[in-house]
Amino acid sequence: MALNKKDHSWRSLQQDAQLTKARCKGFLSKFFILVTVSSLCVIAFKWCAHFHRPLLCPQPLRKITFTSDGVLSENWLRRRVSIPLGKDLMRIDLGYIKAQLETCSQVASAIITRQFPDTLMIEIKELKPVAKLFVSTQGKRCIRLISAEGKLFTPMAYTKHGIKTLPTLSDVTVQLIQGGKILKFNRIYTLLVALMHQYPDVYATVVQISLKNFDPLLEEKWLQVDLKTSHNQHLIFNCTHIGVQMRKLKGVLYALTPQQRSQLLRIDLSLTNPIVEFK
């Protein structure tokens, strides 16, 4: 039997077989790809379930890690807030703990994080004191420390010796304190830092900072401070043009003899021409 027509030739039958074979290969390729993707999905799901198990089931708190850049310790933490071990880590209210810790005036900020599977991490940033102030509260004389930003806070965990070494702020009026801060104290702090860096031996003797003539509500010329030293000497600065006044102080100290320095009573550097007084 002859197959003369083109559509029924043996060549047409061969091409149809090739097309069927190609379709089978394509189907198998798709099938293997589908199986591979499904397997990868199952593996990924099991991996996520394994490493995120704390999110899927209760995990008891077993450890609290506490760090601070100041003097506060874990004993202070335990007295400040109760965090029971064994409680479900995910049910611990981090916001509540943070608020409780930050109600302490010495704490600048608190960061609370969970570290799975069983640890609570607490990091405290504290205000750093640069001076102290004696205040009267309910008829009692109390101490408040002052940070570089001028914030007043109640000292916690500081030793008596550590507090004693801080200079005392005096002649502080009610008008100078607003919102728990001393107005423009940053200007005083800048002066203290300059004195500490350039004349550390002089800075080490400063025991009192008088704000009798320091009025931040008036012009800049009224930002005057009187630094009293342990030798009963007075250094008067204006909290503007501090670099100029430091150079004036250098000139005065260089010109004095050791005997004159021992008899020194007062140096007023706030004026154009410094005034030097002796005992």
Q: Which CATH superfamily is domain 129-278 in?
A: Cell division protein FtsQ/DivIB (3.40.50.11690)
What is the CATH T-level fold of the domain 63-126, as seen in this structure? Answer: Ubiquitin-like (UB roll) (3.10.20)
- The residues spanned by each domain of the chain are 63-126, 129-278
Q: What are residue 139's phi and psi, to 5 degrees?
A: 80, 5
Mean pLDDT, the chain, as a whole number?
87
Average pLDDT over residues 217-225: 88
Q: What is the rounded CA–CA span in Å between residue 247 and residue 252?
A: 9
Q: Chain centroid to CA 149: how far?
A: 13
Q: Label the pairing between strands 264-268 and 234-238.
A: parallel
Average pLDDT over residues 42-65: 69
Contact 203, 193 (CB under 8 A): no
Name the residue with higher pLDDT: 135 or 7: 135
E-state strands within 44-175: 63-68, 107-115, 119-126, 129-137, 140-147, 152-153, 168-170
Say if 63-126 and 129-278 have the same CATH topology.
no
Q: What is the rounded CA–CA span in Å between residue 171 and residue 103?
A: 28
Query: Of 27-36, 92-101, 113-122, 235-244, where does mean pLDDT reach its minimum?
Result: 27-36
The reported pTM is 0.77
Q: Chain centroid to CA 184: how far?
A: 21
Q: What is the rounded CA–CA span in Å between residue 41 and residue 95?
A: 36
pLDDT digits (tens, 9 = 90+) for 165-210: 999 999 999 999 999 999 999 999 999 999 999 999 999 999 999 9
Cβ partners under 8 Å of residue 110, min gap 6: 97, 98, 101, 102, 122, 123, 124, 125
